[in-house]
Amino acid sequence: MKHILIVDDDPEIRNLLRRYLEGQGFRVSVAADRRECEARVADSRPDLIVLDVMLPDGSGLDICRSLHEHRPDLRIILLTALKEDVDRIVGLELGADDYLGKPFNPRELVARIKAVLRRSGPDDAPAPDTRTYVFSGFKVDPGQRRVLAADGHEVDLTGAEFDLLHVFLERPGRLLSRDQLLDLTQGRDRDPLDRSIDVLMSRLRRKLAEKEAGAIFRTVRNGGYQLSVPVTAGTGTSDA
C-alpha cells in the first residue's frame, strides 16, 4: 500500500483528499504546514507528497527544493492556482514530478499519482530497462537512473528530466510531439497552456551542455523534438 502525504492548509481539502485517496487504496497522512510536513516526512517516509505551493509558514517551492536535495527518491505533485504558471515552471525546475491546478477533480489527482508512482517502479511494473545507452560522450544507466559525462562526473537530473531523456533514448531519431512526450513521461494529455515539456527540454539541454554547433536535440516547429545524435545500447551497468 503506497503512502501519500497531503500537505495543504485548507482542512476541507485535506479531509476530502484523505477520504478519497483512502477509498482508492492508498495509506494517507496529512499536514497543514511546512513544520508538520517535515515531521511527517521524517517519521513516516511517504512514497509521494501532494504539496500545496502556498502554505502559512513558507513556500511549497522551498519544501520541494529541500526534499529534492535530501530525499531525491520522494515523488512530489504540486498543487497550484490555475494562473500560477511561474510556480508550475519553477516547481518542475526544483524537482517536482508533476503539478495540478486548483480547482481540480480528485479523480484526476489519483490518475496523476498513479502515473508518477508507475514511473518510479511499482511492484507490478514491467521489468526495468537493463540496457545502458551511450550518446555524445554520455553514458546512461536506467537501472540506477544515472547519467555520466565523458569526464566521469555525474549529471544531476531531476526525476522528470531523466524520464524525458529515457524516452528519447528508447526512440533515437524519432520525432516526438509534445502530446506524445507528455503521455510517455507523465501519462496524461497535454493542456494547451501546458509548458512543462518545453521547460524540461530547456533544462535537459542546459544540463547536457548542448551547443548549437553540436546539438543533441532537434526542435521541429509545430512538430516536437527529436534526438538527433547516434545512440548505442548495450547490456550491463555503469561502472562509475
Q: Give the length of the chain.
A: 240
Cell numbers 504558471 correspond to 85
| pLDDT of the residue at 33 | 92
Higher pLDDT, 122 or 142: 142
Task: Quickly tell me which residue has 501532494 as its cell.
Answer: 50
pLDDT class of 84 with cuts at 50, 70, 90:
low
Q: What is the reported pLDDT for 121?
A: 60
Alpha carbon distance 19, 15 (integer Å) = 6
Question: pLDDT-derived band of residue 36, with 50, 70 and 90 as boundaries?
Answer: very high
Q: Do residues 75 and 96 share a domain?
A: yes
Rounded distance, CA 208 to CA 78, Å? Answer: 26
Residue 196 pLDDT greater than 70, yes or no: yes
Tens-place pLDDT, residues 133-189: 999 999 999 888 889 998 889 998 887 888 889 999 988 888 988 888 887 776 655
Do 65 and 167 belong together in one domain? no
User: 71 and 139 share a domain?
Assistant: no
Exposed/middle/buried for 3, CB within 10 Å: 0-12, 13-18, 19+? middle
pTM for the predicted model, two decimal places:
0.59
Cα distances (angstroms) measured from residue 167 to each of 48, 85, 160:
22, 25, 11
- Kindly state the cell numbers that stand for 33: 504546514
Give mean pLDDT, residues 52-70. Answer: 85
CATH of the domain at 71: 3.40.50.2300
Residues 160 and 230 in one domain: yes
DSSP state string for 154-222? BP---HHHHHHHHHHHHSTT-EE-HHHHHHHHHSSPPPTT--HHHHHHHHHHHHTT--GGG-SEEEETT
* pLDDT cut 90: percent of the chain above it: 31
β-strand 146-148 against 232-235: which pairing, if any? unpaired
The count of structural domains within the chain is 2
For range 27-38, the mean pLDDT: 93
Which of 33-42, 93-102, 206-215 shows the lowest mean pLDDT across its residues?
Answer: 206-215
DSSP-assigned letter for residue 10: -
Based on the domain organization, do 201 and 168 belong to the same domain? yes
Q: Give residue 220's domain range.
A: 131-235
pLDDT-based confidence at residue 240 (cuts at 50, 70, 90)? very low
